[in-house]
Amino acid sequence: MQIRPLRPGIEIISSIHWERRLFDALIPLPEGTSYNAYLVKGSAGTALLDSTDPVFAKDFLEVIKDVDTIDYIVSHHTEQDHSGTLPDLLQRYPNAKLLCSKKAEELLLSHLPIAAERIRVVADGETVSLGDKTLQFLYTPWVHWPETMSTYVPEQKCLFSCDLFGSHLATSDLFVTDPALVLEGAKRYYAEIMMPFRPQVGKNLAKLAEYPCNLICPSHGPVYNDPALIVDAYQKWISPRLKNEVVLPYISMHGSTLLMVNRLTDALVRLGVTVHPFDLSVTDIGKLATTLVDAATIIVGTPTVHVGPHPAVIYAATLAGMLRPKLKYAGVMASYGWSSKAIEQVAGAIANLKPEIVGTVQCKGLPTAATMAEIDALAAAVHKAHAADPNVLA
């Protein structure tokens, strides 16, 4: 870990978590992640923006040991991967004021051992002068907690956006050098953290568009010296436009469901619909979440275990419901031995998405010719729904 310059008077301290492989004990991190803090040094003051995950606290305190004075510590977001080292920093810098949004004050006091008198709430739009640099605080709520805030430095057209625009990518590069890799990590991050708040993300993008920007400094992943890369990607992800794609999570225990999945996949491909099958016994649930960002349809395939769907299928369906993707169509395929309520239970797990159910197929034991015909009809119904929907890209 080290302090590295980004622009005159703006420095980054990135805690690169190369080996982390799971975020929130939920989403796999094939490329690791990072937690970025920033120093803004003006002619009349210095501010530290965010801190780091507690696992890096010792390294962080070591790396800033030569920074004699910090006047302000800004907390954009209370989640501990950014705030977890604030108590140590407030101890190290006893004269520093902790600046945060009104909502963050309450959250910081309930999450961390911080004395209330150290906190100074800043209003939306308020500015704090550091001499030749200004910190302007912009409330950006629900990206992805209610208290989230960004900071804009107008002199250098630089936005510190915290989680918003972040990417799960451990890299020693300061700036984006591999746009495709960064966008993959950013989309994985968006899918888990931001997608449930798509309308609020849109409002914040509109608000931030008022602030011209040539550098976006997120709290995860590399810095964007071409902000349009990530802003345009976010605009696409939150737009109502859908891809002509089906996400097909499934489990197969004895092969019947797999036969159904293969038949549906072939039928959809023949109709020109892109399919993403995910065998949930081996799949990266983060990749599944990422694919849900754009797809128009989800079809779930499950065997029956004790009358209900396989637990891994219920998990995936529940996750899909929780992440609130913009998909509009759904279907369920289930196989069973002697009795099943699997279709109703899977449909119930995604009911909050209010999808149009384009079809369901159920088979006892091995799929028959009649089952395959039903699956072909399901594929045709998906194709028809996509073709008739002006929001589905051809």
The rounded distance, in Å, linking the Cα atoms of 356 and 297 is: 9
Q: Cβ of residue 29: shortest distance to ligand FEO, in angstroms? A: 12
For residues 77 and 383, which CB has a smaller minimum distance to ligand FEO in the complex?
Answer: 77
Length of the chain: 394
Of 198 and 220, the one with the shorter C-beta distance to ligand FEO is 220
Could you tell me how far CA 51 lies from the centroid of its own chain?
20
Burial class (CB in 10 A: 0-12, 13-18, 19+), 322: middle
Q: Are 71 and 109 in contact (CB under 8 A)?
A: no
Q: Which residue is nearest to ligand FEO (CB)?
A: 79
For residue 366, what are its two tokens?
């091995």
**Which CB atom, from 36 or from 297, has the smaller least distance to ligand FEO?**
36
The residue among 151 and 302 lying less far from ligand FEO, judged by its C-beta, is: 151
Other Cβ atoms within 10 Å of 121 Cβ, number: 15
**Listed residue (142, 151, 168, 150) closest to 22, CA to CA:** 168
| Rounded least distance, CB 280 to ligand FEO, Å | 26
The nearer residue to ligand FEO, 163 or 245, going by C-beta atoms, is: 163
How many other C-beta atoms can be found within 10 angstroms of the C-beta atom of residue 130?
A: 20
CB of 82 to ligand FEO, least distance (A): 6
**Shortest Cβ 319–ligand FEO spacing (Å):** 18
* Cα gap 355→56, rounded to integer Å: 43
Q: Please identify, using beta-carbon distances, which residue of 82 and 133 lies nearer to ligand FEO.
A: 82
> Which one, of 185, 295, 300, 166, lies nearest residue 243 by Cα?
295
Question: How far apart are CB 35 and ligand FEO at their closest, in Å?
Answer: 7
Q: How far is the CB of 121 from ligand FEO (least distance, A)?
A: 20
Considering beta carbons, is residue 171 or 219 the nearer one to ligand FEO? Answer: 219
As a whole number of angstroms, the distance between CA 57 and CA 229 comes to 32
Closest C-alpha among 57, 51, 52 to residue 70: 51
Opening angle at CA 74, ends 141 and 11, nearest 5: 115
Read off the tokens for 73.
Answer: 């510590």
Per CB under 6 A, residues contacting ligand FEO are: 77, 79, 81-82, 144, 163, 219-220
Burial class (CB in 10 A: 0-12, 13-18, 19+), 202: middle
- Residue 56 or residue 329: which is nearer to ligand FEO going by CB? 56
Identify which of 71, 69, 75 has the alpha carbon closest to the alpha carbon of residue 51.
Answer: 75
State in angstroms the smallest separation of the CB of 220 from ligand FEO.
Answer: 6
Smallest separation (angstroms) from ligand FEO to the CB of 33: 8
